[in-house]
Amino acid sequence: MMSTADTVAFDVVDGIAWVRFNRPEKRNCMSPTLNRRMMEVLDELEFREDVGVLVLSGEGTAWSAGMDLKEYFRETEEKGLGATRQAQRESYGWWRRLRWYQKPTIAMVNGWCFGGGYGPLYSCDLAIAAEEAKFGLSEINWGILPGGGATKVVVDLIPMRDAMYHAMTGEAIDGKKAAEWRLVNEAVPLAQLKDRVTEIAKVLLEKNPVALKATKDAVRRVKEMTYDNAEDFLVRAQEAANSFDNNGRKEGIRQFIDEKSYKPGLGAYKR
């Protein structure tokens, strides 16, 4: 199934939803229209049985050149505070939705990734970049601070000195450097990007989906907790997960202990 007549394109193939920013002629910068459409697409895909993993990438040479300076900033500001706040809600809204998405998510960064693009980049559970991709907090270059969460993203993901340098100089870095700084998990040559992402998606597709959702949320939640709060949260989170998946983990134990058909240290049980 294919839908390209819009600011967002997507197709679902073998359990993977390939979602793409689709304004290549505008380097996939995020306009209010795109942001609204992306929320609809996320809604549509989230609980589909045939979707196990969502990959977010961009059509053309960009992943996303950040917020649309004309439609998101200039034109909404001209309409007043209400329009500005609405545009913020719509963009932050789908990023937040993606951060806590039901399915595991991978950012496949195929090209330019600037400013506001760091929001969805951070929202995706994993991020794999092309070595040729370029990342930048370009806000300083046109006279604003890295807002929309972008400052928080770099401080959360990369060391303080690098975050400060990145934010203050506005210099772009390539995919290799982004991997070195841990802004992304890894970088591979663009020609291999889709294959590598598919490989990772397939690994995720083999896992228990209830456990995956519980795990990804846990990693994000515990980051800001004390050890004791995290310990307590994790006990409760697992017990809550059990109510959605009564037999999964018991089957995982059975196949290892009784059947001896796999080793959890080396791979997933058969679902």
Which residue number, 94 or 112, has a Cβ lying nearer to ligand ACO?
A: 112
Stretch that binds ligand ACO, among 66-74, 121-129, 200-208, 248-256 (CB under 6 A): 66-74
User: Which DSSP string corresponds to the chain?
Assistant: --B-SSSEEEEEETTEEEEEE--GGGTT-B-HHHHHHHHHHHHHHHT-TT-SEEEEEESTTEEE-SB-IIIIIIHHHHH-HHHHHHHHHHHHHHHHHHHT-SS-EEEEE-SEEEGGGHHHHHHSSEEEEETT-EEE-THHHHT---TTTHHHHHHHHS-HHHHHHHHHH---EEHHHHHHTTSSSEEE-HHHHHHHHHHHHHHHHTS-HHHHHHHHHHHHHHTTS-HHHHHHHHHHHHHHHHHH-SSHHHHHHHHHHTS----TTTSPPP-
Least distance CB 9 / ligand ACO (angstroms): 17
Least distance CB 92 / ligand ACO (angstroms): 12
Stretch that binds ligand ACO, among 32-40, 61-69, 214-222, 231-239 (CB under 6 A): 61-69
Q: Of these, 63, 94, 101, 114, which contacts ligand ACO (CB under 6 A)?
A: 114
# binding residues, ligand ACO (CB under 6 A): 17
The CA distance from 92 to 220, in Å, is 17
Which residue number, 91 or 102, has a Cβ lying nearer to ligand ACO?
A: 91
Closest by Cα among 164, 145, 147, 152 to 122: 152
Q: Of these, 40, 43, 70, 79, which contacts ligand ACO (CB under 6 A)?
A: 70
Whether 126 contacts 200, CB under 8 Å: yes
Which residue number, 131 or 139, has a Cβ lying nearer to ligand ACO?
A: 139
Whether 84 contacts 134, CB under 8 Å: no
Q: Of these, 32, 58, 116, 149, which contacts ligand ACO (CB under 6 A)?
A: 116
Which residue number, 149 or 209, has a Cβ lying nearer to ligand ACO?
A: 149
Stretch that binds ligand ACO, among 6-14, 111-119, 189-197, 202-210 (CB under 6 A): 111-119
Q: Of these, 54, 65, 98, 113, which contacts ligand ACO (CB under 6 A)?
A: 65
Question: With binding defined as CB under 6 A, does residue 26 bind ligand ACO?
Answer: yes
Question: With binding defined as CB under 6 A, does residue 214 bind ligand ACO?
Answer: no
The CA distance from 151 to 128, in Å, is 20
Q: Of these, 21, 112, 122, 269, which contacts ligand ACO (CB under 6 A)?
A: 112
Question: With binding defined as CB under 6 A, does residue 148 bind ligand ACO?
Answer: yes
Q: Of these, 52, 58, 115, 252, which contacts ligand ACO (CB under 6 A)?
A: 115
Stretch that binds ligand ACO, among 9-17, 43-51, 62-70, 260-268 (CB under 6 A): 62-70
Residues in contact with ligand ACO by the rule CB under 6 A: 26-27, 29, 61, 65-70, 112, 114-116, 138-139, 148
